[in-house]
Structure 1
């Protein structure tokens, strides 16, 4: 979590296109700053945001959701702009600022130092379901809650972009979010080893990815797999380990690095499984036993 860089954001400003196809600020003045990014704005965009990374303006649909910056004309320069970490449409943001005796920020004299680091909410894959917490994929012990959290304000969880503190939110709120590439997943169906192999290899995707029972290496990879199987419905989970022609093999061709596997397993124990309760080994099991299993993408 600490390695995630989450500082990037966009925020509504008071720049919009009027009925004459002119870009104006909320005070009615024409855009004279011309701080647009390359090839911006698009003809279909009628409102503008400022981007944290390059401090330039981008066109956007006014019906989209974004954070926004309010401006108070009647305060000192140091307190002139206020970042609001709530996602709203451009019109909603404009009304919010007006109700607070402010306006959406007019940057006719834009200073890039105005767009600074902000601590805003970012969706992660943790939510409350029936009173218990679950991750959208796997399991994590990360519990860096904000003071007073978790609360009953919502059933979905965000983290703050700078401090990485967790907060419960209404699941309908609009926030930036983090996606992760996941090539290993748990199938909560009890199948024999052969059935599990057929299941994984029978999966298809629109990008021509292939699926198989996985190989697992001792150490960090094994520990990562343990976070995946914690929610399995069976005590053990099938892997791609199989005893064939007098030796243990991974079905994907990887070398078996585990010590402690029997050199001459009993005839009915020629398949390998990982136990939820044993953190550093693989177990030889009867291939006809029915267990949950892992598939991976390659």
Structure 2
């Protein structure tokens, strides 16, 4: 894909995360950009680092960039960084105020151990795909729903900021100004609901909150702040599905 040598590891369980080893040496920021453009992000979080699908990636003797960078140490996709299995040298360097190299701000992994390196250094890296997929075909909300249920699992829900980040990352590559989500309005009961039966607690609506009619569904804008908009279900947009 795009001239990069990729190894695809496909999950066979209920969590459809996919890991992609990119065997070209890039700086951390370039690696992050490539992952975000073509997948979801650099591999992030201890859950992914110790996922069985990640640990069976083709072996390499090189350190691999991952999505951890030092700004009080954060993961690229904003997930928790409370647990880190540093190697002995890097742990000493990270905890020592004397002689600390402030340029060493990004993390690599090798044999399950984390190290830090200058973010301008070049390493291969690992991207991940999350559980959502963009379908770049224009359909009404009902048609999008049928497509997702036939070919994948369901129209995507966005119930927290992490899911919002996942979906908006996909939405950036859409051909339409909005993408359908699995958000529907019931005129009879007067509230919005997710098709996955999750409560609409997390919200990212645009400033206009009025409902213009009963045949309304929720769509995310593909640019700007990726806010949610109430759109007639008869309009045709690209859409986001949950993978099986």
* TM-score, structure 2 as length reference: 0.48
Higher percent of residues as helix:
2
* TM-score, structure 1 as length reference: 0.40
Higher relative contact order (CA 8 A, sep 6+): 2
